[in-house]
């Protein structure tokens, strides 16, 4: 039976895919789940680490805890992918697949923003978030700039959250009066699919005296003079830069010829690539939805359902719906939520839920339920 499923990347997409396949098929499937890291970290945990609310050790979910019928995890680095032959080479071997799922996420391209690597700080990687956790307590006066260096980027609300949580951090340390916060984002509003959510965030910035600069991207930094240059040539001085780097598909995906305009094109209904038996889910793919874990997870469920249908010889499942809910930290322990629908209508829509302690608890439950499902915690 053609049942060898090789899943590249054990992030939101890969973990959900392996879990659903194991639940549905058990030992009737042979899933090989490959990741170069030894642990998974939720994207939003990076904000918690950066603001000293937890440590990286406390939020790491080690892959060695995965114990699922039909699934084996391998910690290996993928060095080449042949999508026609469905053969993957890693630093430790060669894997042949009947079905191949690329779920390798998006990487950061620090080199695309001159000066960022030398003179800025990014908070999108685990290393960047940990470095900022060490630096932030020493920032007691001056200009902080939260700046996005390119779109698309993961979790569109995350830089807004960073600006609001920075405000809280400075208030708690008693230095807010001595600091300025500016926030630069390439979109015209903080969360474009939901005007209501965007209005609430813009109001929250105004209440906290955070200067909001929409429709602009940070194109370079001058680390010596501590000046950020925006894409219209205007300049913003800073003492502390908190950046979202430009994203791109991992090099190994670009090198294998699967990408167009930087990412892997797929059918937005089935997540199939143009290569038979090869799917792509999550941030690495162009689906028409934002780069966020909830969308990677939803897409993975559709791929899992079609693989189950193929292996069980039944009809195809429903198409991917492009629905997802994103939690937004507003500070002071309160979390809002936006429920977005990207694919069902002519344009994306979003429904806003005001920040509350109850939604903060719901966000906590979102994380712990994934910890339980994926890692048996
Ligand atoms: C600050 C921040 C906050 C966020 N908040 C949220 C949120 O609240 N809600 C939400 O839904 N999303 C959030 N996100 C976004 C979310 O983390 C990503 O969109 C999500 O992880 C994408 O899932 P994925 O499976 O596509 O890729 P990933 O989860 O990135 O997984 C890709 C995996 O591939 C592996 N990999 C890459 N290259 C190789 C290679 N060559 N060999 C082997 N392995 C490789 C990586 O190690 C990684 O584990 C946030 C992100 C950030 C940075």
- pTM greater than the 0.95 cutoff: yes
- Residue 283 Cβ < 6 Å to ligand 1: yes
* Closest C-alpha residue for ligand 1 atom 31: 11
What is the per-residue pLDDT for 1?
Answer: 61
Low-confidence ranges of the chain (pLDDT < 50): none
CA 293–ligand 1 middle distance (angstroms): 7
What is the spatial distance between Cα 346 and Cα 342, in angstroms, rounded to a whole number? 9
Instruction: Tell me, using a 6 A CB cutoff, whether residue 105 lines ligand 1.
Output: yes
Question: Closest ligand 1 atom, CA of 282?
Answer: 26
- Atom of ligand 1 at shortest range from CA of 40: 49
CB 77 less than 6 A from any atom of ligand 1: yes
Nearest CA to ligand 1 atom 37: 104
Q: Is the CB of 322 under 6 A from ligand 1?
A: no
From the CB of 33, is ligand 1 less than 6 Å away? Answer: no
Nearest CA to ligand 1 atom 5: 44
* Whether residue 12 has its Cβ less than 6 Å from ligand 1: yes
The residue whose C-alpha atom lies closest to atom 20 belonging to ligand 1 is 293
Q: Is 374 left (phi over 0), alpha (psi -120 to 50) or beta?
A: alpha
Q: Distance (Å, rounded) from C-alpha 365 to C-alpha 367? A: 5
pLDDT number for residue 345: 85
For ligand 1, the distance from its centroid to the CA atom of residue 337, given in whole angstroms, is 20
Q: Which of 16, 18, 34, 35 to mutate to test the pocket of ligand 1 (most atoms within 8 A of CB)?
A: 35
Q: What is the pLDDT of residue 31?
A: 98
Q: pLDDT, tens digit, for every residue of 186-235?
A: 999 999 999 999 999 999 999 999 999 999 999 999 999 999 999 999 99
Segment 219-233, tens digit of pLDDT: 999 999 999 999 999
What value does the CA radius of gyration of the chain take, rounded to a whole number of Å? Answer: 21
């Amino acid at each position: 039976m053609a049942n060898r499923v090789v899943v590249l990347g054990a992030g939101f997409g890969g973990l959900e895919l392996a879990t659903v396949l194991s639940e549905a098929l058990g030992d009737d499937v042979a899933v090989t789940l490959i990741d170069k890291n030894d642990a998974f970290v939720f994207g939003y945990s990076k904000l918690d680490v950066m603001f000293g609310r937890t440590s990286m050790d406390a939020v790491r979910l080690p892959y060695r805890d995965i114990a699922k019928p039909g699934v084996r995890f391998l910690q290996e680095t993928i060095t080449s992918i042949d999508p026609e032959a469905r053969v993957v080479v890693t630093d430790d071997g060669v894997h042949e697949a009947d079905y191949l799922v690329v779920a390798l996420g998006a990487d950061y391209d620090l080199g695309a923003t001159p000066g960022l690597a030398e003179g800025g700080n990014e908070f999108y990687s685990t290393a960047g978030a940990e470095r900022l956790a060490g630096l932030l307590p020493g920032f007691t006066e001056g200009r902080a700039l939260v700046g996005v260096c390119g779109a698309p980027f993961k979790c569109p609300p995350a830089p807004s959250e960073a600006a609001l949580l920075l405000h809280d951090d400075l208030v708690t340390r008693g230095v807010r009066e001595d600091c300025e916060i500016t926030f630069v984002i390439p979109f015209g509003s903080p969360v474009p699919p939901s005007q209501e959510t965007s209005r609430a965030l813009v109001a929250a910035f105004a209440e906290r005296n955070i200067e909001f600069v929409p429709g602009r991207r940070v194109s370079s930094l001058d680390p010596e003079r501590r000046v950020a240059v925006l894409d219209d040539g205007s300049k913003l001085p800073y003492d502390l830069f908190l950046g979202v780097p430009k994203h791109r598909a991992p090099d190994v995906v670009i090198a294998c010829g699967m990408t167009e305009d930087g990412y892997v094109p797929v059918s937005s209904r089935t997540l199939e690539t143009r290569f038979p038996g090869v799917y792509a889910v999550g941030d690495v793919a162009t689906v028409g939805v934002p780069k966020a874990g909830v969308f990677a997870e939803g897409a993975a469920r559709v791929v899992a359902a079609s693989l189950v249908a193929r292996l069980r010889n039944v009809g195809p499942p429903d198409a991917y719906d492009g629905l997802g809910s994103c939690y937004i930290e507003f500070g002071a322990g309160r979390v809002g939520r936006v429920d977005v629908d990207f694919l069902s209508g002519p344009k994306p829509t979003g429904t806003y839920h005001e920040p509350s302690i109850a939604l903060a608890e719901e966000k906590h439950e979102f994380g712990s339920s994934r910890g339980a499902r994926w890692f048996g915690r």
